C-alpha cells in the first residue's frame, strides 16, 4: 500500500487517468525517447559504480547465468500456454513469448526505487543482469516461430548482430562500463544529473507510460479478456519463478526480488521493434497490447509488491 503512494507510482496513475478520461495531454515523442535514454544511462552508470566499489564476485556470475537462462527458457512455457489456452497462431504465440522472456527497463527501475524505499536494496550488478536478459528471448522466440509457426529462418549472424547492438543493450552495457571505469570519484561530478535528478525524471517518464499504456488498453482491438488474463498470469508465474530461482542460488531478498521483477516483466521497446522486423506477419497490436497495456501496469501496481513480498518470505 505504502508503495502505491510513492510519487513515481502516483504519476503513473495520473497518466493512466488522463488517458482514460480522454484528456489531450501528450508528451512529445522526442522528450519521451530522450528520457528513456537518460534512464538507461543513469541506471547503467549506477550499476557500474556499485560494482566498481564491490568488485566482481562469484555471486554476480551466478546471477548473470540465472538471468540468461531465464530469458532463454521462459518463452517456451509461455509459447505453449499461448497456443493451447490463448488459441494464438504459431507466429503470434512465438512473438508474444519473446516479449515475456525479455525484460522491461522501466519496470526494473521502478522496482529498484520501491526496494530502496523499503530499505532492501538490490545488488548493483543486477543492471548487468538486466542488460544480459534483454536479448536471449528474442532468439528463443524466433526459433519457436521457425519451428512451429512456419516463419522463414533468418541468417543467425544478422540476428545476433541486431540483438547485441540494439540501443538498450548498447546504452546499458556502455554506461555500466563507464561507471566501472570512473568509479565513485569520477562519478561524483556527474552525480547531480544521473543520481540527483533520477527520481524526478522517472516520475515524468511514468506519467508518460501511464498515458501510453492506458491509451493502448482503450484502443486495443486485439486484446480479449482471455488474453488479458493470460498476460497477468504469465507475469505472476514468471515473476515467482524468478524470485524462487534467485533464492535458490543464494541471492539476498532485495536481489532475488529484482530477479523476479526482471523475469515477470515483459519488453515493450526493444523486442517489439525486433519482432516487427523479423516476424512482420505477427500482429503488433497483440504483443504490444499484452506487454505494454496489461503486464506493464499490472507489474507497477500489483506485481512488484508481490514479488518483493515473496522474496521476503523465501529468503531470510
Partner 1 sequence: MTLPGTERTRVEILVDAPLVPQMIALLSKHAIRGHTVMPTLSGEGEAGVWDDDLITSAQHKVIVLVVAEPDKADAFIEDIRPLLDSYGLIVMLSTINVLRPEKFA
Contacts with Na ion, residue ranges (CB under 5 A): 263, 265
Alpha-carbon span 290 to 298, nearest angstrom: 11
80 binds a copy of itself (CB under 8 A): no
161 binds a copy of itself (CB under 8 A): yes
DSSP string, 250-305: T--HHHHHHHHHHHH---SSHHHHHHHHH-TTS-HHHHHIIIIIIIHHHIIIIIHH
- Which residue from 264, 273, 274, 270 is spatially nearest to 294, judged by alpha carbons? 264
Instruction: Please say whether the beta carbons of 100 and 136 come within 8 A.
Output: no
* Residue 10, phi-psi category: left (phi > 0), alpha (psi -120 to 50), beta (remainder): alpha
263 binds partner 1 (CB under 8 A): no
DSSP reduced 3-state for 191 = helix
* Three cell numbers written together for 118: 523499503
* Residue 55, phi-psi category: left (phi > 0), alpha (psi -120 to 50), beta (remainder): left
Q: Which is nearer to a copy of itself, 4 or 314 (CB)?
A: 4
39 binds partner 1 (CB under 8 A): no
Interface mask toward partner 1 for 88-127; x: CB under 8 A: ----------------------------------------
72 binds a copy of itself (CB under 8 A): no
160 binds a copy of itself (CB under 8 A): no
Give the one entry of partner 1, Na ion, a copy of itself, none that residue 280 binds, where binding means its C-beta sits below a cut-off of 5 to 8 angstroms depending on kind: partner 1
Identify the residue among 74, 209, 236, 256 touching partner 1 (CB under 8 A).
Answer: 209
273 binds partner 1 (CB under 8 A): yes
CA-to-CA dists, residue 30 to 27, 34, 35, 37, 255, angstroms: 8, 6, 9, 11, 33
How many residues interact with a copy of itself (rule CB under 8 A)?
A: 53
Identify the residue among 121, 174, 186, 285 touching partner 1 (CB under 8 A).
Answer: 285
| Nearest distance in Å: CB 172, Na ion | 15
DSSP string, 190-235: THIIIIITHHHHHHHHHHHHHHHHHHHHHH-SS--HHHHHHHHHHH
Residues 187-206 that bind a copy of itself (CB under 8 A): 187, 189-194, 196-197, 199-201, 203-204
- Which residue from 5, 60, 13, 82 is spatially nearest to 238, judged by alpha carbons? 82
Q: Which residues would be at the binding site for partner 1 (CB under 8 A)?
A: 27, 29-33, 36, 208-209, 212, 215, 219-221, 268-270, 272-277, 280-281, 283-285, 288, 292
Q: Which residues would be at the binding site for a copy of itself (CB under 8 A)?
A: 5-7, 10-11, 14, 17-18, 21-31, 33-34, 37-38, 41, 161-162, 165-167, 170-171, 174-175, 177-178, 181-182, 186-187, 189-194, 196-197, 199-201, 203-204, 207
Amino acid at each position: 500500500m505504502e508503495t502505491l503512494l510513492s510519487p513515481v507510482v502516483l504519476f503513473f496513475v495520473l497518466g493512466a487517468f488522463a488517458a482514460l478520461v480522454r484528456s489531450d495531454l501528450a508528451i512529445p515523442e522526442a522528450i519521451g525517447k530522450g528520457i528513456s535514454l537518460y534512464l538507461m544511462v543513469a541506471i547503467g552508470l549506477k550499476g557500474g559504480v556499485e560494482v566498481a566499489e564491490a568488485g566482481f564476485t562469484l555471486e554476480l556470475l551466478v546471477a548473470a547465468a540465472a538471468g540468461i537462462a531465464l530469458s532463454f527458457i521462459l518463452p517456451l512455457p509461455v509459447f505453449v500456454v499461448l497456443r493451447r489456452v490463448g488459441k494464438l497462431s504459431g507466429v503470434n504465440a512465438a512473438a508474444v513469448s519473446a516479449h515475456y522472456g525479455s525484460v522491461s527497463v522501466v519496470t526494473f527501475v521502478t522496482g529498484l526505487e520501491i526496494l530502496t524505499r523499503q530499505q532492501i536494496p538490490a545488488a548493483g550488478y543486477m543492471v548487468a543482469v538486466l542488460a544480459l536478459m534483454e536479448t536471449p528471448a528474442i532468439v528463443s522466440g524466433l526459433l519457436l516461430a521457425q519451428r512451429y509457426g512456419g516463419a522463414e529462418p533468418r541468417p543467425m549472424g544478422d540476428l545476433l548482430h541486431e540483438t547485441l547492438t540494439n540501443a538498450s543493450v548498447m546504452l546499458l552495457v556502455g554506461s555500466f562500463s563507464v561507471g566501472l571505469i570512473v568509479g565513485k570519484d569520477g562519478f561524483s561530478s556527474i552525480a547531480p544529473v544521473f543520481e540527483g535528478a533520477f527520481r524526478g525524471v522517472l516520475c515524468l517518464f511514468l506519467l508518460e507510460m501511464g498515458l501510453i499504456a492506458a491509451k493502448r488498453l482503450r484502443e486495443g482491438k486485439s486484446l480479449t479478456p482471455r488474453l488479458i488474463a493470460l498476460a497477468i498470469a504469465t507475469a505472476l508465474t514468471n515473476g515467482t519463478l524468478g524470485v524462487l530461482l534467485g533464492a535458490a542460488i543464494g541471492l539476498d531478498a532485495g536481489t532475488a526480488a529484482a530477479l523476479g521483477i526482471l523475469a515477470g516483466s515483459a519488453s515493450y521497446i526493444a523486442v517489439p521493434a525486433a519482432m516487427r522486423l523479423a516476424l512482420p506477419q505477427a500482429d503488433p497490436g497483440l504483443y504490444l497490447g499484452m506487454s505494454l497495456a496489461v503486464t506493464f501496469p499490472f507489474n507497477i501496481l500489483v506485481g512488484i509488491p508481490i514479488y518483493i513480498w515473496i522474496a521476503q518470505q523465501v529468503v531470510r
